[in-house]
Structure 1
Amino acid sequence: MLSLPAWKCPEWTLNASLANTSSPEFTEEWQKRVRELQGAIMVASCVQMLVGFSGLIGFLMRFIGPLTIAPTISLVALPLFESAGNDAGIHWGISSLTIFLIVLFSQYLKNVAIPVPVYGGEKRCHTSKFYLFQVFPVLLALCISWLICFTLTVTNTFPSVPTAYGYQARTDTKGSVLSQAPWFRFPYPGQWGLPTISLAGVFGIIAGVISSMVESVGDYYACARLVGAPPPPKHAINRGIGIEGLGCLLAGAWGTGNGTTSYSENVGALGITRVGSRMVIVAAGCVLLLMGVFGKIGAAFATIPPPVIGGMFLVMFGVISAVGISNLQYVDMNSSRNLFVFGFSIYCGLAIPNWVNKNAEKLQTGILQLDQVIQVLLTTGMFVGGFLGFLLDNTIPGSPEERGLLAWNQIQEESEETVRASAVYGLPWGLGTAFCSSRCTQVLPFCPKLDRCEQDELCMSQSTVYSNISTSGRHLQRVRECPL
């Protein structure tokens, strides 16, 4: 969108020393771009909701096997080596410290229990074991490295010259963000004005939505593997893509400037922390809501130095890549066919986006909208690799056993209708049994489908009283009554 002549920045805005950023003219210049982006995101999100809630993405899953999923997940993280390395390279000492702490806490100290005082239960006051390093390895490493950077900044150990190596490791380089942020601000839909719509913008964002859906499907499988859950059934994938579209619609209405999708870095965090709980995501969402309303809190996190983030990304991106490759355990890797499909998909997923980014002018067709769609798709490594893996795996002759489809489909079938999968991927608050027991909802592609016996079994499992309160305070007593 920014490459269009209509959205070129005016000359008078290019010089920061001459532009008055608080003037109405300057404000209108950036707000009209945000309004254009809002309209494009809102229209494209409707396409994503249609693909998800109609069950189209679930229908395509029957043609998707390990040789499609493996390059897609791996290429989520592999192309990001440059950005992660650049952030870490700002100060390799700080980034190495962050990496060391994450590895130390998550791998070497994960089984070390910390005694913590607990009040309650039969013993009242007593101590309990809490596996702090296993639960919070990334958070602990980030906070320690952040504190060290703050100390080195206050003592002027880091250079104060902006051009010197290591300057960006200071925590005061973005001090103006913290001082200028308001204490309280409540965002609302249409805060930048009425969204506008253009065909070029809509097609460009739709291309991004297609890439996002491909990435999300890979993220769903990666997340399930990391937390030891059954692979996501089709109705869960349909619902996930549809809800992501709904999130994009809300983000567009609020004018955030971006859509919402599964975040691959957080999937990597699951492999480090070994904490796979939706309540954690709910709690994190509440924290983010508060951070969005209280500006000072959100601005404080902007002071985290890039080397700390870079070190964290080097660990997490490596985990994501390994999770993608682990899907090949279902495939016969002694087959030259499978070696070709996976190797070619991975390599093209790295090479083609790199070439397109450097030679975008050579893909001009004369149709602006088509050029935007082609450029967005071909510069997204996970789309290129996943598409090639999908195409080659479904066209090159090979037996189902050789392609890994027998083991893959068996796992899918076992997870599709089982009570365990229903407990993991069912709708919340008992809707998985009460709402989806209706004949009308059985045809909806985003609802779990259970027969009467499985509903009764799931009902009995949900009506169990969990009265064993963990002495570490991580589990609460819950009584879940069966809605049937």
Structure 2
Amino acid sequence: MKDQDKKQNRQAQPHSHRKTDVQQLAYSITDVPPWYLCIFLGIQHYLTALGGLVAVPLILAEPLCLQHDPLTQSYLISTIFFVSGICTLLQVFLGVRLPILQGGTFTFVAPSLAMLSLPAWKCPEWTLNATQVNVSSPEFIDEWQKRIRELQGAIMVASCVQIIVGFSGLIGFLMRFIGPLTIAPTITLVTLPLFDSAGSNAGIHWGISAMTTFFIVLFSQYLKNIPVPVPVYGQVKKCHVSKLYLFQIFPVLLALSISWIISYVLTVTNVFPSDPSAYGYLARTDIKGDVMSQAPWFLIPYPGRWGVPTISLAGVFGIIAGVISSMVESVGDYHACARLVGAPPPPKHAINRGIGIEGIGCLLAGAWGTGNGTTSYSENIGALGITRVGSRMVIIAAGCVLLLMGIFGKIGAAFATIPSPVIGGMFLVMFGVIAAVGISNLQYVNMNSSRNLFVFGFSIYCGLTIPNWVNKNPELIQTGIVQLDQIIQVLLTTGMFVGGFLGFVLDNTIPGSQEERGLIAWNQIHEDSEDARNVSEIYNFPFGIGTKFCTASWLWRIPFWPKPEHGGEAMGREHGLNEEKGQISMGEREKLDIDTKM
């Protein structure tokens, strides 16, 4: 009875819950904190994304034949910083307009590794030996640059698919067929096949990697609720001490820093062996020491730096599989972000625009030669909930910080010198968490159903088994057409594609109720916005575009253009949201009920 009374009270006062959420925020999405606070919080978002931004180029270093060239690794890190800054600013100003940071995506890593594992792209033996490779020789430069150019071309072509899907409004149509049983195996298989990369890096020195993992787990799980007194400056109290949950906000950064320092101490004290053939030698911090002196202070990344991109159908089809996964994940990120910052769920035009801008971001990332694309960063959405600061201006500051960090060459060089076992320890935690995020989508599904157990189990197991077999027997795939053989090999060695495709086909063909498949609970969370409050202010174009000028009626038919009913009384009449009558839509009722229970 009490729950029913609470529900009726919510319905009688439909806006009280939303106002309470906004009042709990230190700064809402449209607020502008003081400039110095924007800079500090922007740096914090940059640091939160640091682990993922640095990880992607380091993972790709080995298949690009760059494992013994930390200077070029630093260039890739600086480039991904720079492009992520540009994409973040585009998303906040013209995209979905929520405070979401953009950065490198792990969904592109699996198809990239599959493409680079083709016989034509495997690294020559001489590039694998640190004593034989001359990183400044034209022969070596040509070896790695032709690989990254191939990645560039595939990413740029595949990004056009995302641009079309977003700006055409096709994403809304596709989401009707994509449920938890498609997303769960897709996201889970993003990192499960990367266990070999994590093990190889960690195995260089298991003591250092285990220590890094221990610190990440300690800070993020055991000490996350312990506040640390730090000096701060405020307008009212000026200089004073405040308590901040540092361990919760910066667990990865703190763990990497501590392990890095300890590795340095063990290097200068010669605890680590100085013999290159001895176990643990690669854990030394001085083997990459020259990169700091060789890296320039200022570095301006530019498109086409590695040459003219090349295109192969195999690479394009593989990256398209990553693009589809990235789009599905981003739609979920938009809704999660909106809820954390006290905004209404994003309407269709904002989602279409956000996905389209992410496609443009991937196009820019490919043109600049990062070896990767860009997507919305879930880590930073979590940071919004921790800091209770949902201001768009803070993410704009974070985008500017990313741009600046990409220009300072010494910054990227510093991260390229992190010892491999430290990176391996970080991978063990990060890859495990990403896999768990994929599995967490099953919370919406009835896992007591034999149907659902079959769909998920079969998809996951095939997503691991088939790529493993194809990698060991590539010569058995022979259709007589070389290009077709390459396409099939890339797709079948991308576990994310195999598992996601099987999950999609089986979930949409095997009979099952909407409730059993988890689509009812799923749609309640990912439903389109039916809330007219603040939608215009938050999701429409900036500078009055579409409201004060560029208001021609024919523009309303464009899928990504704001509709007038999203901000006016027409929407209230259409969806039963007339505030004067105290009415509220069924979608909002269900959302309030969910929030009440939580």
Q: TM-score, normalized by length of structure 2?
A: 0.65
Which 10-residue stretch deviates more, 381-390 or 217-226?
217-226
Give yes or no for contact 1:251–1:260 (8 Å, CA) kept in 2.
Answer: yes
CA distance in 2, matches of 1:224, 1:123: 36
Give yes or no for contact 1:58–1:235 (8 Å, CA) kept in 2.
Answer: no
How far does residue 39 in structure 1 lie from its aligned partner after superposition?
Answer: 4.5
How far does residue 368 in structure 1 lie from its aligned partner after superposition?
Answer: 2.2
How far does residue 395 in structure 1 lie from its aligned partner after superposition?
Answer: 0.3
How far does residue 357 in structure 1 lie from its aligned partner after superposition?
Answer: 1.5
Distance of aligned partners of 1:334 and 1:361 in 2 relative to their CA distance in 1, 3 Å threshold: same
CA distance in 2, matches of 1:442, 1:20: 58
How far does residue 180 in structure 1 lie from its aligned partner after superposition?
Answer: 2.4
Is structure 2 residue 126 aligned with structure 1 residue 126?
A: no
How far does residue 141 in structure 1 lie from its aligned partner after superposition?
Answer: 1.1
Give yes or no for contact 1:226–1:274 (8 Å, CA) kept in 2.
Answer: no
In the alignment, which residue of structure 2 is the partner of 1:393? 507
In the alignment, which residue of structure 2 is the partner of 1:417? 530
In the alignment, which residue of structure 2 is the partner of 1:465? none
Is structure 2 residue 427 aligned with structure 1 residue 335?
A: no
CA distance in 2, matches of 1:218, 1:38: 22
Is structure 2 residue 220 aligned with structure 1 residue 106?
A: yes
Give yes or no for contact 1:292–1:298 (8 Å, CA) kept in 2.
Answer: yes
Give yes or no for contact 1:135–1:274 (8 Å, CA) kept in 2.
Answer: no
In the alignment, which residue of structure 2 is the partner of 1:376? 490
Distance of aligned partners of 1:431 and 1:47 in 2 relative to their CA distance in 1, 3 Å threshold: farther
In the alignment, residue 452 of structure 1 is paired with which amino acid? G
In the alignment, residue 330 of structure 2 is paired with which amino acid? Y
How far does residue 307 in structure 1 lie from its aligned partner after superposition?
Answer: 1.6
- Residues 381-423 of structure 1 deviation map (CA, whole Å, 9 limit, x = unaligned): 111111111100110011111111122223332x533368959
In the alignment, which residue of structure 2 is the partner of 1:442? 556
Is structure 2 residue 321 aligned with structure 1 residue 211?
A: yes
In the alignment, which residue of structure 1 is the partner of 2:412? 298
Give yes or no for contact 1:142–1:308 (8 Å, CA) kept in 2.
Answer: yes
- Residues 166-207 of structure 1 deviation map (CA, whole Å, 9 limit, x = unaligned): 2221112222333322333323334455x265xxx3412321
State the aligned residue count.
448
- 1:49-88 paired onto structure 2 within 5 Å: 49-88=163-202
In the alignment, which residue of structure 2 is the partner of 1:318? 432
CA distance in 2, matches of 1:27, 1:72: 35
Give yes or no for contact 1:221–1:231 (8 Å, CA) kept in 2.
Answer: no
In the alignment, which residue of structure 2 is the partner of 1:89? 203
Distance of aligned partners of 1:215 and 1:124 in 2 relative to their CA distance in 1, 3 Å threshold: same
Distance of aligned partners of 1:428 and 1:144 in 2 relative to their CA distance in 1, 3 Å threshold: farther
CA distance in 1, matches of 2:117, 2:495: 21
**Unaligned runs of at least 5 residues, structure 1:** 457-484
% identical equivalent positions = 69
CA distance in 1, matches of 2:351, 2:221: 32
Distance of aligned partners of 1:112 and 1:20 in 2 relative to their CA distance in 1, 3 Å threshold: closer
- Residues 244-297 of structure 1 deviation map (CA, whole Å, 9 limit, x = unaligned): 33123223433x16241338xx64686699658676765554444334333222
Structure 2 SS opposite 1:119: strand
How far does residue 136 in structure 1 lie from its aligned partner after superposition?
Answer: 1.3
In the alignment, residue 261 of structure 1 is paired with which amino acid? T
Give yes or no for contact 2:181–2:507 (8 Å, CA) kept in 1.
Answer: yes
CA distance in 1, matches of 2:554, 2:315: 34
How far does residue 315 in structure 1 lie from its aligned partner after superposition?
Answer: 1.6
- 1:449-468 paired onto structure 2 within 5 Å: 450-453=566-569
In the alignment, residue 474 of structure 2 is paired with which amino acid? A
CA distance in 1, matches of 2:261, 2:526: 46
- Residues 422-472 of structure 1 deviation map (CA, whole Å, 9 limit, x = unaligned): 59983574779848986444333335652514989xxxxxxxxxxxxxxxx
CA distance in 1, matches of 2:429, 2:533: 31
In the alignment, which residue of structure 2 is the partner of 1:360? 474
Structure 2 SS opposite 1:332: coil
In the alignment, residue 383 of structure 1 is paired with which amino acid? F
How far does residue 43 in structure 1 lie from its aligned partner after superposition?
Answer: 3.6
Distance of aligned partners of 1:189 and 1:407 in 2 relative to their CA distance in 1, 3 Å threshold: closer
Distance of aligned partners of 1:166 and 1:430 in 2 relative to their CA distance in 1, 3 Å threshold: farther
In the alignment, which residue of structure 2 is the partner of 1:261? 374
In the alignment, residue 526 of structure 2 is paired with which amino acid? Q
Give yes or no for contact 1:134–1:273 (8 Å, CA) kept in 2.
Answer: no
Which 10-residue stretch deviates more, 203-212 or 238-247?
238-247
Structure 1 SS opposite 2:230: strand
Q: TM-score, normalized by length of structure 1?
A: 0.79
Give yes or no for contact 2:318–2:490 (8 Å, CA) kept in 1.
Answer: yes
Structure 2 SS opposite 1:117: strand
CA distance in 2, matches of 1:73, 1:306: 25
CA distance in 1, matches of 2:159, 2:248: 37
- Residues 78-134 of structure 1 deviation map (CA, whole Å, 9 limit, x = unaligned): 222222222222222212221221122122222222222333333334322222112
Distance of aligned partners of 1:231 and 1:158 in 2 relative to their CA distance in 1, 3 Å threshold: farther
In the alignment, which residue of structure 1 is the partner of 2:19? none
Which 10-residue stretch deviates more, 356-365 or 270-279?
270-279
**Unaligned runs of at least 5 residues, structure 2:** 1-114, 573-598
Distance of aligned partners of 1:62 and 1:365 in 2 relative to their CA distance in 1, 3 Å threshold: same
Provide the aligned C-alpha RMSD in A: 3.8
